Amino acid sequence: MELMNCYQEIDYLQDQLNIRNVEANIMGEHIHSLELKLTELEKFPERVRVMDNELMRSDSQCWLLMEEVRCKEEELQKASSQIEKLESTVLDSQCEIESLKLDLTNLEQRLFDAESFAQHAAEHKARIDKLLGEHELQLHEAQNNIDQLVLENKQLKELLPIKAHKQSPSTSGDHLDKQLENGGHAEYESDNLILERMAKQNEESELLIEQLKEELREQKLKAKEDAEDLTQEMAELRYQITGMLDEEYKRRSCIEQAAIQHIQELETQVSKEKTKLSGALRRLQESHELAHKQAMEIKKLKDALERFNSAVNLGTVCKSCSCGFCAMLIELSNCSIEGPSGARSPKSNHINGKLQDQALIEWHPDEASDGDGR
């Protein structure tokens, strides 16, 4: 009977031993997982330090980006002031163009006046030519009259000796002599008067002809001089107007080309500055987002570290356990926390998301006591 009890007790102890072995295996697996988690928790301070450094670096980068944005804003203000100056320059050039248009209008008015003066001069020249033609016609008629009078004078001079020779020589007496003398004297006086009158008319005609010729020469010379002066003045005016128009066209072309080139350069500069500013704002936004993410990760790490510290503090509750596992867990946690910092892993750029889901391991000694009581 006692042997039977011994066999039963041996079987019971074997069952308890098997159960203890299973529990020991489970505890070993838990210890291994705890060691892994403690190894990861050892990296928390280093990761926090790296996150702090990255946060400081992101803050410095953010400050640099803000400075860059401020510089770009100043450059944009300068560009806007340059655009305003250019607009004022364009307005000044437009005012100059309007003034030049007024000058051009005045020159066109002067040209019109000169053309009207030239037309009046041409009409005056035509009238002078007409008067000269009339005077030449009168001169030709006077010359014909003079030639006719000279011919008549010559004929009269030829007729006087013939009449004197035709007087009869047979007439005698004083009466005939007196009559001949009186008649010849009267006829001679009348002929002389006619000749004198004709000579006077001839002289007057010659004087008039000379005077008309002189006036004709003066009028021709004056008309020629007026025509030459007018032609020269018109040529000079056309040359001056053409030169002024060419210079104004070149000047306006240069001003417009320079203004267009300056506007294009300013527009290109403004577009570049806008592109740089948008890039800087995008980088600033990215740095803010990165800083926010890093702050959230640091907060999560701190929360996980606080949970781990609370778990370590909970180890004092397990000192009354008689299994000895809780004391081993406390000793293992103390060794893990007080370990050298030089053995920590430098991999701190990526935070494991599983740290958010770490659960506190609780030991239930009632299960072991229940096993002992079987």
User: Rounded to the nearest 5°, which phi and psi values hold at 116?
Assistant: -65, -40
Residue found under tokens 């889901």: 357
Residues 208, 204: Cα–Cα separation, whole Å = 6
Comparison of pLDDT for 16 and 284, the residue scoring more: 16
Residue 4 lies in a domain: no
Residue 344 lies in a domain: yes
Question: For residue 162, what pLDDT band results from cuts at 50, 70 and 90?
Answer: low
Residue 347 lies in a domain: yes
DSSP for residue 317: G
Helices of type H across the chain: 2-42, 44-165, 174-313, 325-337, 365-372
- Taking each helix axis from N to C terminus, what angle separates 325-337 and 2-42, rounded to the nearest 10 degrees? 20
Looking at beta carbons, which pairs linking 63-68 to residues 24 or more positions away fall under 8 Å?
Answer: 65/280, 65/283, 65/284, 65/287, 66/284, 68/280
Residue 29 lies in a domain: yes
Q: What is the pLDDT of residue 139?
A: 76
Predicted structure pTM score: 0.36
Residue 235: both structure tokens together: 């040529």
Residue 8 lies in a domain: no
Residues 37-59: tens digit of each pLDDT: 888 777 777 877 888 888 888 88
Residue 223 lies in a domain: yes
Residues 286-325: tens digit of each pLDDT: 877 877 787 787 777 777 777 766 766 655 444 444 444 4
Residues 254-270: tens digit of each pLDDT: 877 887 887 788 778 77
Residue 17 lies in a domain: no
Q: What is the pLDDT of residue 367?
A: 38
> Mean pLDDT over residues 217-238, rounded?
79
Residues 23, 364: Cα–Cα separation, whole Å = 12
Residues 285, 283: Cα–Cα separation, whole Å = 5
Comparison of pLDDT for 139 and 11, the residue scoring more: 11
Residue 311 lies in a domain: yes
Beta-carbon count within 10 A of 98 CB:
10
Q: What is the pLDDT of residue 160?
A: 66
Structural domain range at position 30: 24-372
Residue found under tokens 């010729």: 213
Comparison of pLDDT for 136 and 327, the residue scoring more: 136
User: For the chain, how many structural domains are there in total?
Assistant: 1
Residue whose C-alpha is closest to residue 61's, from 272, 286, 276, 279: 286
